[in-house]
Structure 1
Amino acid sequence: MTTRLDPQVSVHLHSPQQEAPPHPGPGWTRFVCISDTHSGIFRLPPGDVLIHAGDLSSYGALPQLTRTIDWLTSLEHPVKIIVAGNHDVNYISTDVPPVLTASQLIQRARATVRSLASAGLYYLEHESLHFTAPSGKVWKVYGSPAAPIHLEGAFQYASSTEAKAIYQCVPEDTEILITHTPPYRTLDKTRKGKYAGCPILSSRLRQLRHCRLHVFGHIHEAAGAGVDDVGGTHRVSVNAAVPLSDSIVVVDMRD
């Protein structure tokens, strides 16, 4: 299914059993959006930019992370941008001996992923990235692995004060935002009918007038895409969790 929102953006729900729609051509950037792969490997359509919104592994074990990074590195997308998620911490102690603490594993994982920037793979942890798409457009990206606290896990916050400190760091000129958590009431409804997204993130997004694409995951059963009108411009929101979805969200944006 393809939805053409306006002359500036199209959203495709791509089934792995079908060919992706043709790239719209010069002056456009194609974003392929995934999240919550949990050490799995999936067939993805080609594109200019691959975005992974966290939960790279199942339980944070380094071999699981390595499997995901090897897979991502092998893909032909010229630019690949990833954040971590709450599952990306070693709270089941699988390294023996010695057993790595959660903080030690996160540090090792950071070093492993950051070393691959020369291969077009970029890891963002509460930080910005400006990259040049094949079209020549320079996109302004911000990525954060944070999410409201839910049992054990990594990169979680427990209060609105912590959340405000995290999301106020997102630059005003951000065009592409990648977070692990959804914003409140945007593709965040659980099976039990609860809206599990972050209200503080939702409030911050109302201030980010230049943000054209927001990619997240975390709530698997709410996977999909939606569109909001922000000051006369369409903003695409993508819950890119793939395990329970039979399609991959592909977003084409005119530079």
Structure 2
Amino acid sequence: MRIICISDTHGQHHSLQLPQGDILIHAGDISTLGKAEEIEDFLTWYSQLPHPYKLFIGGNHDFYLEKEPELFELMVPKNCIYLNDSMVEVEGIKIWGSPVTPFYHNWAFNRYPGDDIRKHWKLISEDTDIVVTHGPPAGILDMTVREIAVGDEDLRKKITYIRPKYHIFGHIHEQYGQIEQEGTTYINASYLDIRYRPSHPPVVIEYEKSVTGSR
């Protein structure tokens, strides 16, 4: 399976050059201001892409998804899969996604440290193959331009415990890249740089399923 990873397009999705693949994953911040018209434009574009499976989550800029969840759900095209603290199984690959990030200036899907955010990570099944969150785990591709690490510690503990094959996220534009630790490949797939300029290509995963299962 060929998986294409993107994140943090912030309304600039039309400039993306996407390679072919089986599964397309967007790790949030599909908009800039989180307005309904921005979301609708993204969904129209996303639904027309040729990838057989199109998954996405929200991000801290995507206010409409959190403020009007029922109306938003009606907007999602049938050929797109929206993950919100939920899992989908695609061709035997279990993918779980969440838009939640640590609290910062009251953005969308913000949660306070402790039980407020930890309850979301408790929902991640131990047999998950790919975890998609908008924000990074603590200490992994989470350093801002001001040299402040902003990843979530409880998310790091959960990922370290269940050890999925991949953890895909974005949020910190300046930390685009990949790193492998203890059997998990962490991918920051941010499309835009710190100045919101299109700068980073989509990340391509050649996913090999094992004989005994997806992992």
TM over 0.5: yes
Identity of aligned pairs, percent?
32
Tell me if 1:192 matches 2:141.
no
From 76, 85, 90, the counterpart of 1:131: 90
Count of residue pairs the alignment pairs up: 202
Which structure: greater strand fraction? 1
1:159 Cα deviation after fit: 2.2
Q: Residue 10 of structure 1 aligns with which residue?
A: none
Letter of the structure 2 residue corresponding to residue 131 of structure 1: V
From 32, 35, 39, the counterpart of 1:61: 35
Q: Residue 221 of structure 1 aligns with which residue?
A: 174
**Which ranges of structure 2 fall in alignment gaps of 5 or more residues?**
194-198, 210-215
From 57, 63, 67, the counterpart of 1:103: 67
Distance 2:12 2:73 in 1: 20
Q: Is the 8 A contact 1:40 1:68 kept in 2?
A: no
Q: Residue 84 of structure 1 aligns with which residue?
A: 58
Distance 1:56 1:40 in 2: 9
Distance 2:113 2:153 in 1: 11
Tell me if 1:174 matches 2:133.
no
Q: 3-state DSSP class of the match of 1:107?
A: helix
**Which ranges of structure 1 fall in alignment gaps of 5 or more residues?**
1-28, 91-100, 133-137
Distance 2:108 2:128 in 1: 24
Q: Is the 8 A contact 1:222 1:239 kept in 2?
A: yes
Q: Is the 8 A contact 2:190 2:200 kept in 1?
A: no
1:102 Cα deviation after fit: 6.2
Q: Residue 243 of structure 1 aligns with which residue?
A: 192
Q: Is the 8 A contact 2:66 2:109 kept in 1?
A: no
Letter of the structure 2 residue corresponding to residue 129 of structure 1: V
Q: What value does the CA root-mean-square deviation take over the aligned residues? A: 1.5
- Give deviations 1:87-125, integer Å, cap 9, x for gaps: 0015xxxxxxxxxx9623x33222211xx23x2x10010
Q: Which has the larger radius of gyration?
A: 1
Tell me if 1:112 matches 2:72.
no
Q: 3-state DSSP class of the match of 2:135?
A: coil
TM-score, normalised on structure 2? Answer: 0.90
Distance 2:67 2:50 in 1: 32
Q: Residue 208 of structure 1 aligns with which residue?
A: 162
Q: 3-state DSSP class of the match of 1:152?
A: coil
Distance 2:11 2:35 in 1: 10
* CA spacing shift, 1:162–1:111, aligned 2, 3 Å: same
* CA spacing shift, 1:174–1:192, aligned 2, 3 Å: same
